[in-house]
Amino acid sequence: MREVAVIGIGITKFGELWDKSFRQLIAEAGSKAIFDAGIEGKDIDALYIGSMSSGRFIGQEHVGALVADAAGFSHLHIPATRIEGACASGGLAVRQGYLSIASGVNDIVVVGGIEKMNDVAGASATETLATAADQEWEAFFGATFPGLYAMIATRHMHDYGTTKEQLAQVAVKNHANGAKNPYAQYKFEVTVEQVMAAVPVAHPLGLLDCSPVSDGAAAIVLCAMDKAKEFTDKPVKIIASGQASDTLPLHGRRDITTLDATVHAAKMAYKQANVTPKDIDVAEVHDCFTIAEICAIEDLGFVEKGKGGKAVEENITTLDGEIPVNTSGGLKAKGHPVGATGVAQIIEIVEQLRGEADKRQVEDARIGLAHNVGGSGATCVIHILEAI
């Protein structure tokens, strides 16, 4: 396999972006990434686009070709493919781009991720997100994503004594980081008291335990390592790409507080990178709900099973902690335009490893991990990156 590097990154602001179309968002992120990499359209061998549900959110499918056109590349006839894996669509697109270069098929690819979720009403967005759950066993009976993660939280509290305050501390940390991120949807800090008092969504999760409904796009340029130095003096190497799957409905799992897809994808990635969880200097994990971050830091092996709540309470995951998690603000504060999330996570890790994360910079960060989950854990994709 050939080595692969990230040589360019570009992102739009995340939020309720009424004044920008799907086309404008992806063109903005893509052109920033291409400019950052110093490449031209003629250098690009392929495009991979992560998007979960453009058909339901904006009535538009066939977005691979649409994105190539919006980027101004239709005359170049570049192969353009849309990848779908619910909220892991972006991470899966990164993996497809990575594999296409590692295998020797392509030299330079652009990977984009996008979702425009606010063009439909809130109830419709919730219904669309629930298409990533099992229709027969979960959604048909009224289960929503906040509802499914509330069940995971309740079980975690029962089994390990995790408290609502500990869940709230995840939101407090991620809002503090998001406040330092110019692209974040929510650039304000919150207190434990505010999180605890927020309007209930699905017990024990309140409004401030949830990621928001977001619009936004992100893009990266991947390049074969042996060519990367032609374009940049700061390539960031992808040293592992792991992927795993699990049952769609929660009831099929051996334990609903463990996302086995994360456990298996992490095992694959750590083996390929030849690192252990202790070697990771900074991580972006899939905190679609506060409980999801607690499960993730356990499943990724950063802390012992059942100790995630305690670890957050002890500030192990803050910017200056032992293992800083979600320095971007995470899905909670940066926002969660589902198809864009997995690509945006890679962008935060690249900024950290290049030393360009400004007020969010983790000192001496050399190895970073991005963890992207689809649905309630039926798909997981993990990338590990290293500063060169």
- Which CB, 172 or 210, lies closer to ligand COA? 210
> Binding marks (x or -) toward ligand COA, 327..366, rule CB under 6 A?
---------x------------------------------
Separation of alpha carbons 163 and 195, rounded Å: 13
- Which CB, 235 or 329, lies closer to ligand COA? 329
Asked if residue 21 binds ligand COA (CB under 6 A), the reply is no
Identify the residue among 212, 216, 235, 242 touching ligand COA (CB under 6 A). 212
Q: Is 156 a catalytic residue?
A: no
Tell me the CA distances in angstroms from 72 to 118, 215, 282, 314, one per residue in order. 25, 22, 35, 49
Identify the residue among 201, 219, 236, 250 touching ligand COA (CB under 6 A). 201
Q: Which residues of 102-138 are buried (b: 16+ CB within 10 A; e: fewer)?
A: beeebbbbbbbbbbbbbebeeeebeebbbebbbeeeb
Asked if residue 172 binds ligand COA (CB under 6 A), the reply is no
Least Cα distance to 51 among 241, 218, 232 occurs for 218
- Which CB, 86 or 362, lies closer to ligand COA? 86
Separation of alpha carbons 167 and 160, rounded Å: 13
Question: Which segments within the chain are labelled E, that is strand?
Answer: 4-11, 46-50, 80-83, 108-116, 200-202, 205-206, 215-224, 236-245, 282-284, 367-374, 379-387
Least Cα distance to 330 among 214, 163, 213, 178 occurs for 178
Helix, strand, coil proportions of the chain in percent (round to 5)?
Answer: 45, 20, 35
- Which CB, 87 or 369, lies closer to ligand COA? 87
Contact in structure between 90 and 342 (CB atoms under 8 Å):
yes
Asked if residue 72 binds ligand COA (CB under 6 A), the reply is no
Identify the residue among 38, 104, 122, 161 touching ligand COA (CB under 6 A). 122
Q: Is 336 a catalytic residue?
A: yes
Asked if residue 126 binds ligand COA (CB under 6 A), the reply is yes
Residues 131-150, interacting with ligand COA (CB under 6 A): 145-146
Catalytic residue among 264, 286, 336, 383: 336
- Which CB, 8 or 178, lies closer to ligand COA? 178
CB of 160 to ligand COA, least distance (A): 22
Q: Report the interface residues with ligand COA, using CB under 6 A.
A: 87, 122, 126, 129, 145-146, 186, 201, 207-208, 210-213, 288, 336
Catalytic positions are 87, 336
